[in-house]
């Protein structure tokens, strides 16, 4: 009896697993490739933001394949799919609202707290110093 139930929501079997594994690996490799491509780019440039957006879309694609095929949700009945997916739609609002709020908070701080703004632009020269100290410390620690 168990067998008939299982056979009903059985996916494509091993073939499907191999297919999804390949898709997940390819998506990961593309993500990594984009990550490497992004390295030399200037902070906050629009191309970098576009690449970050692409990576997020690829991430969602990976999530779809894991949940849909590995966790078998795609082969379940519609009732179950809706029970799981509909509450998760709250995330859309959750993410939009909070990120917007964070961004707004940054602008408010930068506008009304000049000291904070100053702090976040200063110390650009200190980087090398700090790094040198760190490297020296490390060298000492190694010795």
Partner 1 sequence: MSTTTAAVPEKLWSGGKSPFKVEYGKLMMWYFLMSDAFTFGAFLIAYGTTRFATNGWPNPNEVFRSYPFAGENANAPLVFVSIMTFILIISSVTMVLAVQAGQQMNKNKVVINLILTILGGIAFLSCQAWEWNHLFHEGAWWGRNPFLNADGTQSTTNFTNFFFTITGFHGFHVFSGVIINIIMLIMTLTDKFEKRGHYLMIEKAGLYWHFVDLVWVFVFTCFYLI
For partner 1, the binding residues (CB under 8 A) are 2-3, 5-6, 8-10, 13-14, 17, 21, 24-25, 28, 31-32, 34-36, 39, 43, 52, 55-56, 59, 62-63, 66-67, 70-71, 76-77, 79-80, 83-84, 87-88, 91, 94-95, 98-99, 101-103, 105-106, 109-110, 117, 119-127, 130-131, 134, 138-139, 142
CA distance 67 to 73: 6
Token code pair at residue 118:
């100053």
Burial status of residue 140 (CB atoms within 10 A of its CB: 0-12, 13-18, 19 or more):
exposed
Between 46 and 139, CB nearer to partner 1: 139
Question: What distance lies between CA 96 and its chain's CA centroid?
Answer: 15
CB of 34 to partner 1, least distance (A): 8
CA distance 114 to 118: 6
Between 47 and 106, CB nearer to partner 1: 106
Between 47 and 134, CB nearer to partner 1: 134
CB 73 within 8 A of CB 81: yes
Of 35, 32, 33, 28, nearest to 52 by C-alpha is 35
CB of 140 to partner 1, least distance (A): 12
CB of 14 to partner 1, least distance (A): 7
């Amino acid at each position: 009896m168990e067998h008939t139930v299982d056979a009903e929501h059985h996916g494509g079997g091993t073939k499907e697993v191999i297919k999804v594994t390949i898709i997940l690996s390819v998506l990961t490799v593309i993500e990594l490739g984009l990550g490497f491509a992004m390295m030399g780019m200037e902070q906050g440039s629009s191309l970098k933001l576009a690449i970050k957006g692409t990576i997020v879309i690829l991430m969602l694609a990976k999530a779809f394949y894991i949940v849909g095929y590995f966790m078998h949700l795609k082969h379940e009945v519609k009732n179950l799919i809706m029970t799981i997916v509909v509450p998760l739609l709250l995330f859309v609002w959750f993410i939009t609202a909070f990120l917007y709020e964070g961004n707004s908070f940054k602008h408010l701080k930068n506008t009304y707290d000049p000291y904070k703004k100053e702090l976040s632009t200063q110390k650009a020269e200190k980087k090398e110093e700090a790094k040198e100290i760190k490297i020296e410390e490390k060298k000492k620690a190694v010795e």
